[in-house]
Structures are given as C-alpha cells and as structure tokens.
C-alpha cells in the first residue's frame, strides 16, 4: 500500500502519516521525486484501512499495490516519469543520448571524448572514474582523480556527468562530483549500495544485471525508491546467453516490458550489449524504434589505445552517423533530442577539492 501526497503537502503532513502508521504497528518509507512524495507502507493492510488515511491533510490517494515493487510500479503512478539530470530530461517525450569514454584515462582524452559526444547529439557525459572489472589485473580507474577530471570537463562543455559508484563508502564522494550516480550490472543486487544511493540526493542510473529477470531489476529499483529516491532511470545493457557472436545479448523486448510495469524511464546501452563498434549504431536504431527513453554510448578518440573496452568505442568516423541517427529517428517515434544542459555551477563539480584537473 502507498500513500500519495499532494505537491503542496508539508513536511508536517508527511510526518503525521508516518506517525499514524508507526502507531498502528507498521513501517513507513518516504520517497521523494521531483514532483511528488510517496509514503510506502509495510504491515497489516486492514490496520491501515482503519486509519482513514485518505482524509488526512496533504493526502491525494491511498493505493493498494499487488506487485512487490510498489513504489516504482505503474499501478500507483499511471503516467510515466520524467527524470531530470542537471536540467536534462529523460522520459517519454525525449530520446536522451548519454555518451563519453567508458573509463577516464587523462584530462585530454576525456575532454576530446566529451566534445565528440556533444557533436553526436549527447546532452549528458558518461565516464568511469571507478571501474570494477572481471580481472583484478585490468584497469580499475583513477578514482577521485578521475572524478576531478569529469568535473572540469563538465564545466568546460556544459554536459552534466553520469558516473559509476561501486560501494556504499564511496557514495558521498562520487555524489559530490556527479550529477547522476550509476549502479553497474555487477552491483544491481548489491543491496547495501542500492540503499546508499537511495539516500543520496542525486538521480540514479540502474543497469540491469547480466543474469537478472525484469522483475529482479525492478525490485532492485525498489530498494533505491524505498530509501527516499524516486529519481531512477533503468538501463538495459544486454544479458548473458549462449550466444558468442556478441559480448552480451541485447534484450530489446525488456524496454517495453519494463515501461509497461514501471513508470521509470528505460534507456539502452548498445555499447556493452553488442561489445563491437560496428553494432553500436544499429542497436541504437533498434533502441529508438522500440521506444527507449535514451541510450548510453562509449566514445574514445583513440580506441586502439583505450585502457577499457576499446573494441566497442565509437571514433570520429562513427560520430556523423550517430549524430544523423539521433537527429532524424526520434521525431519519427514522437520524440525530441534534448539540448545539452547548461553548465551547472554546483553540479558536476565538487567544492574546492575538484579545482585542479589531473593530466
């Protein structure tokens, strides 16, 4: 059961609902989005019914939810959500391109990749400062030094930053530099991390686990929402199957399935699903055609020298084709390409500690 609060509801109104539920022996979890506040209830539904919550100040509706992912479900929020990252929308009316280097290597490489991303129609910059890898000997990222580079490139290009956080202890640090926190496929069911990003005041990009069902993916999003953060974007990035011709298998059907079950935006990662440069643009076309709310793409100025996933990174010769696809296909499915967000004085750049870039 969830209690939907009115936009004008006060903190006192929300607190009053929480206190009533707790007094009845239940638990209440407050989740705030850009335009609404939801209170999720756990406990005896009959006891909650006796509280007559619909009559309480600030309450718009009380809804019984049959699915286990209550806060991210379409059952209580029929209209699909729009999530804003540094002013850039991700939702049902736009096709948002997120692009940049898979891993931050140097300031020059990251800035060049960001300019390439912008030329391709990207309005958000991706880049990994922390890189959890299958092999412990593979490049693991620059850590905070990489975050500083992303902050400076964001200030230079006006592109808000999307970057991965890999453990609960790093959430506060990464959130001080980034505009959006990414939870990678290997961490989709790292429940401590999900709860930590749920408590951070930043939008979250949640990648589907490589062996996860759609319901497990939505339940992972519910962990984030239950901790107070409804600003979640789902990312289909390919699942593990028997096929060896691609790095992973892009489950394109997961996009409309997840959009039917959840109000959250759903984007596609054509880079990590295909794992090959020649597949990225075709899979981007497929993502747009099926109704994805965006794509997240790897770009590198010199893929042969890339320290991470060079085989799937787009280069200059691919940018014109991607830019054409991004400009011409979305209008055919009733979407627009959002412009790059304005440079954010307080977003994408940490306080004084981010002032010096690392080359």
Q: Which of 293, 359, 355, 284 is nearest to 322 (CA)?
A: 284
Token pair listed for 66? 């049959």
CB atoms under 10 Å from CB of 248, counted, come to: 18
The yes-or-no verdict on residue 297 having pLDDT over 90 is yes
Q: Is 32 exposed, middle or buried (0-12, 13-18, 19+ CB in 10 A)?
A: middle
SS3 content of the chain, % helix, strand, coil (to 5): 35, 20, 45
Distances (CA, A) of 336 to 63, 92, 211, 250, 288: 33, 10, 32, 24, 11
200-224 pLDDT per residue, tens: 989 999 999 999 999 999 999 999 9
Give the separation between CA 151 and CA 17, rounded to whole angstroms.
Answer: 40
pTM check: above 0.75: yes
61-98 pLDDT per residue, tens: 888 887 889 889 998 788 899 999 999 999 999 999 99
Those residues with Cβ within 8 angstroms of residue 69's Cβ, 6 or more apart along the chain or in another chain:
215, 218, 219, 221, 222, 261, 262
Domain 83-354: top CATH class: alpha beta
Mean pLDDT (the chain, rounded): 89
Per-residue pLDDT, 349: 43
15-28 pLDDT per residue, tens: 999 998 888 888 88
Per-residue pLDDT, 119: 93
Task: Give 140's pLDDT tier (boundaries 50, 70, 90).
Answer: confident
Per-residue pLDDT, 73: 92
- In the DSSP assignment, the letter for residue 149 is H
Strands 204-207, 180-183: pairing is: parallel
Give the separation between CA 66 and CA 71, rounded to whole angstroms.
Answer: 11
Q: Report, as an integer, the average pLDDT of 109-128.
A: 95
Q: For the chain, how far is it from start to end, CA to CA, in angstroms?
A: 52
The yes-or-no verdict on residue 49 having pLDDT over 70 is yes
Which helix (H) or strand (E) segment holds residue 239: the answer is none
- The full set of domain ranges for the chain reads 2-63, 83-354
Q: Report, as an integer, the average pLDDT of 331-344.
A: 79
Those residues with Cβ within 8 angstroms of residue 345's Cβ, 6 or more apart along the chain or in another chain:
none
SS3 category, 201: coil
Domain spanning 2-63 has what CATH number? 3.30.70.1140
The yes-or-no verdict on residue 151 having pLDDT over 90 is yes
SS3 category, 92: coil
Token pair listed for 149? 């580079």
Give the separation between CA 18 and CA 36, rounded to whole angstroms.
Answer: 16
Give the separation between CA 124 and CA 21, rounded to whole angstroms.
Answer: 40
The Cα angle at residue 238 between residues 259 and 183, in degrees rounded to 5: 75
């Amino acid at each position: 059961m969830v209690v939907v609060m009115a936009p004008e509801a006060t903190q006192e109104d929300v607190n009053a609902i929480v206190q009533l539920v707790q007094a009845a022996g239940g638990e209440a979890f407050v989740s705030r989005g850009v335009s609404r506040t939801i209170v999720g209830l756990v406990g005896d539904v009959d006891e909650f019914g006796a509280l007559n919550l619909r009559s309480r100040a600030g309450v718009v509706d009380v809804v019984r939810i049959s699915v286990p992912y209550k806060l991210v479900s379409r059952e209580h929020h029929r209209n699909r959500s729009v999530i804003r990252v540094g002013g850039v929308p991700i939702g049902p009316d736009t096709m948002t391109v997120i692009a940049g280097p898979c891993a931050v290597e140097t300031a020059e490489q990251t800035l060049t990749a960001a300019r390439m991303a912008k030329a391709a129609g990207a309005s958000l910059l991706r880049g990994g400062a922390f890189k959890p890898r299958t092999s412990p000997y593979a490049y693991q990222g620059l850590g905070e030094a990489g975050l500083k580079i992303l902050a400076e490139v964001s200030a230079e290009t006006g592109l808000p930053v999307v970057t991965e956080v890999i453990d609960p202890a790093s959430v506060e640090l990464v959130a001080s530099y980034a505009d959006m926190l990414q939870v990678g496929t290997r961490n989709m069911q790292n429940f401590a991390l999900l709860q930590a990003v749920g408590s951070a005041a930043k939008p979250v990009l949640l990648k589907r686990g490589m062996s996860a069902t759609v319901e497990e993916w939505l339940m992972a999003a519910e962990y984030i929402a239950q901790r107070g953060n409804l600003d979640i974007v789902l990312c289909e990035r390919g699942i593990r199957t028997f096929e060896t011709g691609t790095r992973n298998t892009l489950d394109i059907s997961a996009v409309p399935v997840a959009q039917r079950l959840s109000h959250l935006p759903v984007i596609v990662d054509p880079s990590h699903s295909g794992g090959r440069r020649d597949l990225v643009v075709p899979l981007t076309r497929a993502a747009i055609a099926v109704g994805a709310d965006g794509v997240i793409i790897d770009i590198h100025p010199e893929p042969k020298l890339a320290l991470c996933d060079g085989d799937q990174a787009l280069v200059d010769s691919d940018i014109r084709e991607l830019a054409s696809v991004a400009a011409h296909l979305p209008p055919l499915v009733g979407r627009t390409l959002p412009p790059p967000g304005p440079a954010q004085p307080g977003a994408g750049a940490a306080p004084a500690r981010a002032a010096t870039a690392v080359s």
